[in-house]
Structure 1
Amino acid sequence: MFKEEYILDLLSGRLTQKGYASIVSSIATMVRRYQWQKSIVVSNNSDLNWSKDDYLELSQQFFEWIISNDKLKYIDKVPYDYLSYYFTQMLVSFVSNRIKEEQQKNGISFQKCKDLVLTICKEDYVVTSHLGQDYILGNDASNDKWIANLDDVIRYMVHYPITEHTKQFKPIVKLAMEDILVSADGYVLIDSIADAVFNLLDQTSFSNIDTESEIGFVYQQDLKYDSEIKEILHGVSSVEARIYLEYIFQDGGQVSLSELSDRYNIPKSTIHNKIDEFKKKIFTTYIPENENDGIAFLKNLANSLDELSK
């Protein structure tokens, strides 16, 4: 994704226009791939159509966030081959924080609530047409009455809190829908469900927002990574472990594929393929929560490789 040489240029303050354009292009690719909304850079803007200026603004905000939060403090501990991966995780962390900030400001909108209701209806229920309108029936319903208004149904129902700590809205919307359908006990108009669910969401807590403190990186042999590391190291020999340590983690200094080939009497192409497959296995086995978690994971993986290589 991100080119390592441009990341190093950025860190050293020697980033050229070509390097800057490459980084912005990589960020734009991430935006399109994951369909991030413009609210990341412009509050309350859910537009998916980004302009060139929007990509530049996101890049600048990302750089400022990196600097102001001292995110480069431990980057010297990251192996060269993982710089792109690490930088990508920093971008994901930044975007996640911005999305969370917007949620803290706004909670869930009616349109978002309605979209989730429609999605859940399609995923979990059979939609039935009646007099030109769409209805769904609760899984445990015992009546076949048609209900178009839920005011009386939800009048005494409990409300579901949405706070600044709420990370996912869908499970809450789904729970509210299930409770509404149980209380209604019949075929319920889908449009009325969206209104009812939204009215049951308690979003009164957004005036008191706590700023999430940054957690510094502390290396420790963490049991949380055990299962993933065991999966990654399954079938890895002691010689392969030493090769991965020397090339990827630069244990003992930077080394070339040719040097490894001579040292272990293994064809250069074979070593290259093994390293590529090992890196792919890492990327697909564990997705860090943030950049600090990514570094901790790599440290634990390197330590396990070292034990295996003995």
Structure 2
Amino acid sequence: MNRFNINYINDLLNGKLSLEGYNHIMSVVGYYTKINQWPVSVIMPEKNRDSRWEKEDYEELVQQYFEWLLVKGKLNYVHKVPDSYRSYYFLQLLMSFVSDKIAEYQKTTGVSYSAIRKITLEILEERFRKEERAEKIFWSGGDIVTEDTLVAPDLEECIRSLPKVAITANIKHLKPHVKNCLLSIFEMYQFPIEEETLIKSVYNLFDQSQFHTAQFQSYNSNLDIETESNNNYKSQVDSLVLNLSAIDCQIFLSYLFVNEPPSLDALASKFNLPKSTLHSKIASFKKKIASIYIPVNQDDGILFLKNVHDVLDKIANQ
């Protein structure tokens, strides 16, 4: 079970969600929690990151998801989403909700210095060379090391060009990234490095800016969609409206892009067409929408549908 049932979604939207529907939604949420390995501490901060998910944790996740949908106004445009697309749409909403929770969690905790320090020391002990000088510990990598620290260049300058590791919600394990940072540092710097200086250098190679600029990120994300995705929509929208008549566009606008869709009887009377013809046209168009474009998130989906609406409106009024 990896998709939300459209009937239960519509029940939720109408405020008539049954216990069976609630259990279905919780089951789908649980499925994606497991395959994405979301840490329970994102939802329950008082719990350890590695704690096992319990039933009450899943219930809390679903409850917070519902609250997020309402508070963020994510349901305001659902009426514009075709039924055939709503299941996927709600899945994207879930992914966005959890991404928000992870970003919020990372914003307060980030990747802590102590976590990087612990992992760095583990890796250093496993494969790098250690020596003590004047009651300080130094580390070096490989066999080719220049011992004369008096001629050593500035470490920060040497590793300035190294690429940073962007900390995102997709990173599940830090150790491989810490290891790569150490290898890169020792490749660029052929001198022993004092332990705390080395750990600080590794820590600074982790880019956590996206978690410390959440407001900017949210704005920038929307801006990216507005400026870049609009260009990407053109080919899909052009394909969607290909060979549509002005009447076709008026039908779709009257039924799919209104707060309260009219009955097929009313639509048939308005356009002087058989109900079967209208039903076929609408069903075919909804299916085409779902097959032509798969959005990256809910904002992308809404913007795509807005573009579809604008083009339909233009053709309808030609």
So what's the TM-score if we normalise by structure 2?
0.59
1:230 is matched with 234
Over 3 Å counting, the alpha-carbon distance change for 1:260 and 1:211 in structure 2 is farther
Is the Cα–Cα contact under 8 Å of residues 247 and 254 in structure 1 kept in the other structure? no
Aligned partners of 1:212, 1:42: CA distance in 2, in Å?
23
Alignment of 1:88 with 2:91, yes or no, is yes
Q: Secondary structure at the match of 2:256?
A: coil
The residue type equivalent to 1:184 in the other structure is Y
Over 3 Å counting, the alpha-carbon distance change for 1:167 and 1:302 in structure 2 is same
Alignment of 1:287 with 2:300, yes or no, is no
2:7 is matched with 5
Structure with bigger helix share is 2
The residue type equivalent to 2:30 in the other structure is A
Which structure has the greater CA radius of gyration? Answer: 2
Is the Cα–Cα contact under 8 Å of residues 82 and 286 in structure 2 kept in the other structure? no
Match of 2:143 among 122, 142, 145: 145
Match of 1:300 among 295, 300, 307: 307
In the TM superposition, residue 58 of structure 1 has moved relative to its aligned partner by 0.7
Structure 1 residues not aligned, in runs of 5+: 122-131, 136-142
1:33 is matched with 35
Is the Cα–Cα contact under 8 Å of residues 246 and 254 in structure 1 kept in the other structure? no
The residue type equivalent to 1:64 in the other structure is E
Match of 1:42 among 36, 41, 44: 44
The residue type equivalent to 1:300 in the other structure is N
Is the Cα–Cα contact under 8 Å of residues 244 and 275 in structure 1 kept in the other structure? no
Structure 2 residues not aligned, in runs of 5+: 130-140, 161-165, 266-272
In the TM superposition, residue 167 of structure 1 has moved relative to its aligned partner by 4.6
Alignment of 1:58 with 2:61, yes or no, is yes
Over 3 Å counting, the alpha-carbon distance change for 1:261 and 1:176 in structure 2 is farther
Is the Cα–Cα contact under 8 Å of residues 103 and 214 in structure 2 kept in the other structure? no
Match of 1:181 among 186, 193, 210: 186
So what's the TM-score if we normalise by structure 1?
0.60
Q: Secondary structure at the match of 2:293?
A: helix
The residue type equivalent to 1:231 in the other structure is S
In the TM superposition, 1:11-22 aligns within 5 A as 11-22=13-24
In the TM superposition, residue 6 of structure 1 has moved relative to its aligned partner by 1.6
Which one scores higher on RCO, CA 8 angstroms, separation ≥ 6?
Answer: 2
Is the Cα–Cα contact under 8 Å of residues 222 and 300 in structure 1 kept in the other structure? no
In the TM superposition, residue 281 of structure 1 has moved relative to its aligned partner by 2.9
Aligned partners of 2:200, 2:255: CA distance in 1, in Å?
55
In the TM superposition, 1:270-281 aligns within 5 A as 276=287, 278-281=289-292
Aligned partners of 2:296, 2:189: CA distance in 1, in Å?
42
Match of 2:256 among 244, 250, 257: 250
Aligned partners of 1:42, 1:154: CA distance in 2, in Å?
47
In the TM superposition, residue 59 of structure 1 has moved relative to its aligned partner by 0.5
Aligned partners of 1:198, 1:244: CA distance in 2, in Å?
60
1:124 is matched with none
In the TM superposition, residue 36 of structure 1 has moved relative to its aligned partner by 1.4
